[in-house]
Amino acid sequence: METAKQTILCVDDEQVNLKVLDAVLSPRGYQVVMTQNPREVSFIVEKKPVDLILLDVMMPEMDGYTVCRRIKENPQTRHIPIVMITVLSSKEDRIKGIDAGADDFITKPFDQELVLARVRMLLKMKSLNDRLNHGYHNIIRLTSFGEEILKDFSARDFRFFEVLSGVVKQVLRQSGDIQDNPLIVIVGTSHKKHWEWYQFESAFNELYQTRLNIKIQENLALPAPGDSQVMFFNEGESDESRLRDLVRMLESESLLSVRNGIGYLSPELCVFSLNYGRDVTVYDASVLNSLVMQSLFLKSLSNQILETEDALEHTVRALVRASEANDEDKGNHVIRVGAFSALLAETLGMPGRFVRAIWLQAQMHDVGMVRIPAQILRKAGALSDTEKAVIRKHPLFGAEIIGSHPRFRKARSIALTHHERWDGNGYPHNLQGEKIPIEGRIVCLADHYDSMRCAKSYRPAMSHEQAVHKILEGDESCRPEHFDPRVLKAFQLAADRFASLFKRLEDPPAPRRS
């Protein structure tokens, strides 16, 4: 496999010394850059990747100690090893070089084999240090990427392939100078034994995704269900990795020439990172495995949260159905109140989490009705003052039933405050203005609108236009002052959508009695 040549910068004011170093290093495959001007060194190492500097000490314009000190003081270049080549051999001179940041010393006249041995040793150390730094920065970058995902994580909005694509972008090589990243990543996902394959490449910090119309899975020996495997290979190595079947297929399809690669294989997901700028190792395979595990963990977390959310919704609906056992006229009332509340919250610009929470938890606003006697709820005529007083206890009953679990904080607040009024004339605590929680203010209006649209024993159902007029203009039983002005404005903006929602969630016609 062709790998990038390691670059050695030779600095000496004597041209003959530079030619000697070039004659020693170039035949061994090193790229040699030479300069007689020590003032150019900082400019060269900032503009061109340099793996090692061979630096003369005694130079007229600037001595090697000063050059070394400047290189080592720069955070961008301090990692470059520097070997001082000098006729000076006293302890004081060496201490001065060490203080300047030199990594090694060679005394003139030098032995060629000694120079090559020192160069090989320092380049090996530089390579290991570069990989360590690359791994560290990868961890930092991917940790930040994971934190960003978790910051706004929503199980209902989670898209596994989008997250995986984001991880792939973090991994792909962004420029030709970076040898520790792959040029290409191929991802395959299986759903009900149907595979889809995509190839990812990066250019100018943009991720390019291409659908592959080939059945790569047919050329792979996938692990058993529940198992996974990570493997790697380098061109020219003798091992018979299962990745070689993939390589032969990709090359036969003229898709690309593969020099090395790492693969993660499982029955549901395969990820292949190909064509690193150097030989890959077991450590690179561990990095890919960690990235895939991070994505799969988020997918598993999303699935578990969704299962929990579904169970929660089922529990809420069961509780709501129980609370309606004594009230035959409720129909889809609670479902509509949840939908209207979510619409108002969305129109107000509330966060998505709040909108989703109020949609579900507003449906429990009347759960306290389960403790109201059936004869009161089913009474055909007007209620007495005593019966009205009993009805007005249902917010307190609802809050007591829901309890204090943090997950149902909004539900408890809604049950307790959805009959409070902005002007302070509501119940059970005569709260006023901002003292009423925003969820209570929202559900108050949503509940009013739906109640007006439904027929009661003492009045017929109102049309949408009649309900809107009554809420916005008011009458003897309902006044605009009852509602938060911001919520009232949101209702006015969303009034047409209220009508559509009511029609979609309208109660089915009652069966005729024979």
Q: How far is CA 119 from each of CA 12, 103, 104, 239, rounded to the nearest angstrom?
A: 17, 11, 10, 31
Tell me: the pLDDT tens digits for 181-233?
A: 888 999 999 888 899 999 998 877 778 888 988 888 887 888 888 899 888 88
Q: How far is CA 198 from each of CA 152, 161, 163, 211, rounded to the nearest angstrom?
A: 26, 11, 14, 5
Is the confidence at residue 237, as pLDDT, over 80? Answer: no
**pLDDT number for residue 514:** 41
Is the confidence at residue 423, as pLDDT, over 60? Answer: yes
Q: Name the residue ranges covered by the structural domains of the chain.
A: 7-130, 153-301, 324-504
Residue count of the chain, please give it.
514
Percent of the chain with pLDDT over 70: 90
**Using CA atoms, how far apart are residues 1 and 17, in angstroms rounded to an integer?**
33
Answer whether CATH 3.40.50.2300 is correct for domain 7-130: yes
Highest mean pLDDT among 82-86, 218-222, 240-244, 427-431: 427-431
Tell me: the pLDDT tens digits for 354-411?
A: 999 999 999 999 999 888 888 888 887 788 999 999 999 999 999 999 998 888 899 9
For 153-301, the fitting CATH number among 2.30.30, 3.30.450, 3.30.70, 3.80.10 is: 3.30.450
Q: What is the phi/psi pair of residue 231, to 5°? A: -145, 165
Say how far residue 392 (Cα) sits from the centre of its chain: 47
Tell me: the pLDDT tens digits for 122-157?
A: 999 888 887 777 767 767 766 777 677 667 666 667
Percent of the chain with pLDDT over 90: 43
Residue 269 and residue 258 in contact, taking contact as beta carbons nearer than 8 Å? no
In DSSP notation, 8-43 reads EEEE-S-HHHHHHHHHHHGGGT-EEEEES-GGGHHH
Report if pTM > 0.75.
no
The HSE-up count of residue 212 (CA atoms within 13 Å, CB side) is 23
Q: What letter represents residue 425's amino acid?
A: N
What mean pLDDT comes out for the span 413-429?
96
Q: Which CATH superfamily is domain 324-504 in?
A: Hypothetical protein af1432 (1.10.3210.10)
**Using CA atoms, how far apart are residues 308 and 303, in angstroms rounded to an integer?**
9
Residue 403 and residue 438 in contact, taking contact as beta carbons nearer than 8 Å? no
**pLDDT number for residue 496:** 95
| Residue 1 banded pLDDT, cuts 50, 70, 90 | very low
Burial readout 395-426 (b: 16 or more C-beta within 10 A, e: otherwise) = bbbbbebbeeeeebebbbbbbbbbbbbbeeeb
